[in-house]
Structure 1
Amino acid sequence: MSPAPRTDHDNFAQSLRGDGFCFVDGETMRGHLLQHGSLQDWPAFADSWNDLAPDQYLASVGRHRRRRHAVFRAGRDGAIERQPHQPHYQSLNYNTLQGDIERWFEPVHDAIAGGASLTTVLGFCRDFFSTLAPQTQAWHIELHQFRIEARSDEDGQPTPEGVHRDGVDYVLVLLIDRHNILSGTTTIHTADGTELGSFTLTAPLDAALVDDARVFHGVTAVTPQDPQREAHRDVLVVTFRKTA
């Protein structure tokens, strides 16, 4: 019997196993998401980035970022359940700029957290990352809505901590919108700084899948294309950490 033909899902997994990362274009990503649910509320989901709260932890160093945060738990085959609101914490080993502090961010709105689009994204992540970790029975999931603002007198910094790891197992970075910006190139590195690859998320649903235990990642600064107009980069970041 001939082996079953390889699927894009298989290719994603092979890339993460072999290279530690994978870029997925928006149209391909849309197709995979729709295998896990609906994106029927996408306009409202994307619009929710217009109601993010300032990141007060960065304000003191003059960097402009807005965000909301939520925590979920999922079994490898079971329901994905939102957890009580809690701080986001990273050690200094992973975040030299803001490590070793509990950072409390405004929560993701209930309608967004329980909506079709986010449920679909989380379902895709659970099923895909579980194929890479077949012994894992449960996941701690954190998600972040980020808006990076670029101004005429100051670049926007998607990763102000520099090239880094998040201290989790797997990461999805999903582009929601780019408005009037240039650059914002994602770079992937080994621990010694060697660059393994780079790509720029430019279209809605363009995605990066990252094996955070193996590689480091960063994003170059964004600048306004037209300095007289508002400029921003909106992404959803979802992290998965093994709990059992």
Structure 2
Amino acid sequence: MRPSPEFLDALRDDGFCFVAADTMQAWLEDQGALEDWAAFRDSWNDLAPDRYLEKLGKQRRRRHAVYSLCSRGPAAGAAVRQAHQPHFQSLDYNALQGDIERWFEPILPAIGDSQSLHAILRHCQSLFGSLAPCVARWHVEVHQFRIEAQVDTPGQPTPEGMHRDGVDYVLVLLVDRENIARGTTSIHDMQGREVGAFTLTRPFDAALVDDARVFHGVTPVEAIDPALPSHRDVLVVTLRDAERTA
């Protein structure tokens, strides 16, 4: 099952769209088997604390990897993992932690090479490549995020607030959600007006974002039952034309 024109039209016309879990899962399965999805999902239990946010009194767990993703010819969709490198955003895009080379723990090799992740990357190339056919190769950053809500402290999926990432396109894919309330994604246009809002509640629910055209952010998350563990696990994939400087 490939994306229907309505989703491509929404991205072109509005700069974003929400994709329900059943649809997104079908899109990914069209790109390859998801037989290792359970192991892929469970790898969120082994993320490292975000030590940069710890300095600010905020908590988040994450891992990071960079890929080169071919968008043309017989190798289209082939993703090659690159040497581990820092995640960098300028202050123009991240007022909280901009102009800092942030070194996160790498995504584990078995997860970085997994069927599930490579199906996701092939899907990103197919979908976003159809919107930008002039791009020959994408610089791709993959982020595993776990946001935990503490007893008296909501979790902050986007502690930098409403923002852009400084890339071309963004996929936010919900992997798991346990004992969590709120966490609504909101989309704002370049004038700051809200143009969309939705909540990722089921595994495979996803947001697709044209980063050049809209801002996005997520409201804090709270534990439904403060006595039990709670988390919101997402995979964020960003794509930038490899010929364009960051």
Whether TM exceeds 0.5 here: the answer is yes
What is the DSSP-based 3-state SS (H/G/I as helix, E as strand, rest coil) of the residue aligned with 1:18? helix
The alignment status of 1:24 with 2:19, answered yes or no, reads yes
Query: Normalising by the residue count of structure 1, what TM-score does the alignment of the two structures yield?
Result: 0.96
What is the DSSP-based 3-state SS (H/G/I as helix, E as strand, rest coil) of the residue aligned with 1:35? helix
Instruction: Determine the C-alpha separation between the residues in 1 that align with 2:214 and 2:33.
Output: 31
Instruction: Determine the C-alpha separation between the residues in 1 that align with 2:117 and 2:3.
Output: 21
How far is the alpha carbon of 1:65 from its aligned partner?
0.3
Provide the residue aligned with 1:60 in structure 2. Answer: 55
Deviations 1:165-217 (A, max 9, x none): 00000000000011101000000001221000000000000000000010000
The alignment status of 1:48 with 2:47, answered yes or no, reads no
Provide the residue aligned with 2:178 in structure 1. Answer: 179
How far is the alpha carbon of 1:218 from its aligned partner?
0.3
Provide the residue aligned with 2:95 in structure 1. Answer: 96
Instruction: Determine the C-alpha separation between the residues in 2 that align with 1:126 and 1:34.
Output: 15
Instruction: Determine the C-alpha separation between the residues in 1 that align with 2:129 and 2:233.
Output: 27
Runs of 4+ residues over 3 Å off in structure 1: none
How far is the alpha carbon of 1:15 from its aligned partner?
0.5
How far is the alpha carbon of 1:95 from its aligned partner?
0.2
1:201 is matched by which residue type in structure 2?
L
Instruction: Determine the C-alpha separation between the residues in 2 that align with 1:167 and 1:238.
Output: 13
Which of 58, 65, 69 matches 2:64?
69
Aligned residues: 238
Structure 1 runs not aligned, ≥5 long: 1-6
The alignment status of 1:199 with 2:202, answered yes or no, reads no
What is the DSSP-based 3-state SS (H/G/I as helix, E as strand, rest coil) of the residue aligned with 2:44? helix
Provide the residue aligned with 1:4 in structure 2. Answer: none
Deviations 1:146-175 (A, max 9, x none): 000101110000000000000000000000
Structure 2 runs not aligned, ≥5 long: none
Instruction: Determine the C-alpha separation between the residues in 2 that align with 1:154 and 1:191.
Output: 31
What is the DSSP-based 3-state SS (H/G/I as helix, E as strand, rest coil) of the residue aligned with 1:226? coil
Provide the residue aligned with 1:108 in structure 2. Answer: 107
How far is the alpha carbon of 1:8 from its aligned partner?
3.8
Instruction: Determine the C-alpha separation between the residues in 2 that align with 1:191 and 1:96.
Output: 17
Q: Percent identity?
A: 61
Provide the residue aligned with 1:132 in structure 2. Answer: 131
RMSD over aligned Cα atoms: 0.8
2:34 is matched by which residue type in structure 1?
L
1:63 is matched by which residue type in structure 2?
K
How far is the alpha carbon of 1:11 from its aligned partner?
1.6
What is the DSSP-based 3-state SS (H/G/I as helix, E as strand, rest coil) of the residue aligned with 2:8? helix
Which of 2, 9, 12 matches 2:4?
9
1:219 is matched by which residue type in structure 2?
V
Shifted more, 188-197 versus 99-108: the winner is 188-197
Contact kept, 8 Å, 2:151 with 2:227, in 1: the verdict is: yes
Query: Normalising by the residue count of structure 2, what TM-score does the alignment of the two structures yield?
Result: 0.95
Deviations 1:86-108 (A, max 9, x none): 00000000000000010000000
Provide the residue aligned with 2:163 in structure 1. Answer: 164
Provide the residue aligned with 1:154 in structure 2. Answer: 153
How far is the alpha carbon of 1:221 from its aligned partner?
0.3
The alignment status of 1:35 with 2:27, answered yes or no, reads no
2:21 is matched by which residue type in structure 1?
G
